[in-house]
Amino acid sequence: MTGKGKTFSVVGFMKHYISNSKADFRFNREESAAGREEALKVNLGRLVYLISIGLSVAIAHIVLFYFFNTEASGTELQWKNGIIASHSTMFLVFLITGFSVIIIRKRGLFNKPCARAIPHFMFLFFLMLGTIITGIDQLITNAITPFMIVCFFTAMVLIIPPLLSALYYLFAYTLFFFVITHFQPFQDVLLSNYVNGLTSVAIAWFLSMVLWRNFVYRFRNDRLVRQQQTALQEQNLELSRIANELREVNKSRIRLFSIISHDLRGPLANLSSLMRLVQSDDITEPEFKELLPELASQTLLTSELLDNLLNWSKNNLNGITCHPKAFAIHEITSGIIRLYAGQADLKGLEILNKTDPQHKAYADPGMISLVLRNLISNAIKFSGKNGKITVYSKLSGEVTEISVEDTGIGIKPERIPSLFGDDQFSTQGTAGEKGTGLGLMLCKEFVERNGGRIGVQSTPEKGSRFWFTVPTAT
């Protein structure tokens, strides 16, 4: 590499180093507001403890200098009165500032200009107070201990940006220079104090700068940790949401398969009974030919039911959703009654459709069809021979009430509260029919998804009336 290239490389490195060094001491645009607010909260918190200690120190000095050494005169008296006056001022300023800080922290007034100004005011006040006390001390001593203490103390306690702290220390040293010149008559002592004061200011500013840089580092690290924690919490929430969705989807799929098996059991049982009759020669060939149209009708209805169930379940594999539209209640009820006609005939049951042909519902037809199939199937299951099942519809304001009434065995009062619950139980029907225990729970869920309600009135040994409401189509 040529000398010129090396020069450019060194210059580039220096620019990069200086640029990075500046970034270590200042907040970027995204960090500025939060960083300065955090610095303010830290400063105000420290001031509470600092002021509580300062008040005790001020009172101790005032009492000590007022009640002791009462025979002082001349220069000593002047020094004594100066110490009392300076600490009295310190007590008053600390008292007012302390109350202000407590109110600001208690009410959260961190965005107020007065709140932001307090740490800077106290930084300057400490430096000025230490300078004045140092000047007064020159009446009896050559030391500048108070000035040195406040320089280091302010650097370690209050977090101030380096540029501002440099200006404050420069102001303090300028004041120190004039105060010392006024009170100290000996030139050799003055020169020593000038140098010691300048050294104290330089070291204090360097210390303040280092502590500010550490605060910026800590703030950025804490902010990064908080961001990572927030990101992890969001990820955990997202994972929990996905897990819940998966559980709901799996639950929905289980229910869908239960619905399909539940709704196909009755029609397939009818076909199975007819086949057994044929196989066992319990019916003659002419009787079988008479049953063929009914068998064909049952097969067609079962096939249509299976197609509808599969299509409906396909649309709901990712979770059962409601797709409402207007449909005629009488029409959908007639189709379901035809589907269960064979099963009803085996028990000698009469199913009547007394729904009004003019009544229309606005709901998911698949869901309402499932509800009606379950209620009619249950009515058949729990009705004895030669009973009657009736389906009604009634307008009631903005909803239509649909009811399925039977003359079956009824339900015991203590069993009614648990009929629509999550506890699955199945009761055998009057002919030993079995069920899954899911039907009424699904009916309740589907009715409520469509904005309706479901209920039952029943009298043991006299029958039951299950009803539900759906929004009326306008």
Task: Check which CATH number belongs to the domain holding 361 and give it.
Answer: 3.30.565.10
pLDDT digits (tens, 9 = 90+) for 234-265: 889 888 888 887 787 677 666 666 666 665 66
User: Looking at the structure, do residues 220 and 256 belong to the same domain, yes or no?
Assistant: no
**465 and 395 fall within a common domain:** yes
One domain, residues 162 and 311: no
**Does some domain include residue 431?**
yes
Nearest CA among 382, 315, 314, 369 for reference residue 339: 369
Examine the domain organization and report whether 100 and 161 are in the same domain: yes
Residue that has been written with the tokens 């509800």 in this structure: 371
Handedness of CA 369, 389, 445, 394 (dihedral sign): positive
Q: Which of 175, 208, 236 represents a domain boundary (last residue)?
A: 236
Residue 415 has pLDDT above 80, yes or no: yes
Cα gap 111→104, rounded to integer Å: 10
Count the domains in the chain.
Answer: 2
| Token code pair at residue 119 | 């740490």
Considering the domain architecture, whether residues 224 and 357 belong to the same structural domain is answered as no
Same-domain check for residues 291 and 331: yes
Domain boundary pick from 236, 254, 287? 236
Residue with tokens 């990712």: 318
Do 282 and 228 share a domain, yes or no?
Answer: no
Percent of the chain exceeding pLDDT 90 equals 27
Say which residues have a Cβ less than 8 Å from residue 437's Cβ, sequence separation at least 6.
424, 425, 426
Within this chain, do residues 398 and 448 fall inside the same structural domain, yes or no?
yes
Put simply, whether the predicted model's pTM sits higher than 0.85 gets the answer no
DSSP reduced 3-state for 69? coil
User: Are residue 119 and residue 248 in the same domain, yes or no?
Assistant: no
**Segment 154-180 mean pLDDT:** 91
Q: Is 1 inside any structural domain?
A: no
Rounded to whole angstroms, the Cα distance separating 390 from 330 reads 12
Q: What is the pLDDT of residue 199?
A: 93
Note the pLDDT of residue 29.
78
Is there a domain that residue 89 lies in? yes
Task: Tell whether 328 and 381 lie within a shared domain.
Answer: yes
Q: Does the residue 331 lie in any domain? A: yes
- The pLDDT, as a whole number, for residue 436 is 42
201 with 248, same domain?
A: no
- Distance (Å, rounded) from C-alpha 93 to C-alpha 125? 9
Alpha carbon separation from 179 to 81, 91, 144, 190, 199 (Å, rounded): 17, 22, 11, 11, 17
User: Domain containing 358: what range?
Assistant: 244-471
Q: Which are the contacts of 126, defined by CB distance < 8 A and separation ≥ 6?
A: 150, 153, 154
**Residue 340 burial (C-beta neighbours within 10 Å; 0-12, 13-18, 19+):** buried
Instruction: Give 290's strand partners.
Output: none
Q: How large is the C-alpha radius of gyration of the chain?
A: 46
pLDDT value at position 437?
46
Q: What is the pLDDT of residues 443-463, one digit of tens each?
A: 888 899 899 999 999 988 889
Q: Is residue 296 part of a domain?
A: yes
Domain assignment of residue 426, yes or no: yes
**Which residue, 181, 213, 236, sits at the end of a domain?**
236
Q: Mind listing the pLDDT tens digit for each residue in 300-341?
A: 556 655 655 665 565 555 556 788 999 999 999 998 898 888
Q: For all residues of the chain together, what is the average pLDDT?
A: 81
Task: Give 413's contacts (C-beta < 8 A, 6+ positions apart).
Answer: 460
Whether 8 shows a pLDDT value over 50: the answer reads no
Residue type, 307: D
Residue 2: inside a domain, yes or no? no
**Rounded-to-10 torsion of CA 324, 334, 357, 473:** -10
Query: What phi and psi, each to the nearest 5 degrees, are found at residue 454?
Result: -135, 150
Residue 261 lies in a domain: yes
Q: Mark whether 269 and 227 lie in a shared domain.
A: no
Under DSSP, is residue 374 helix (H, G, I), strand (E, B) or coil? helix
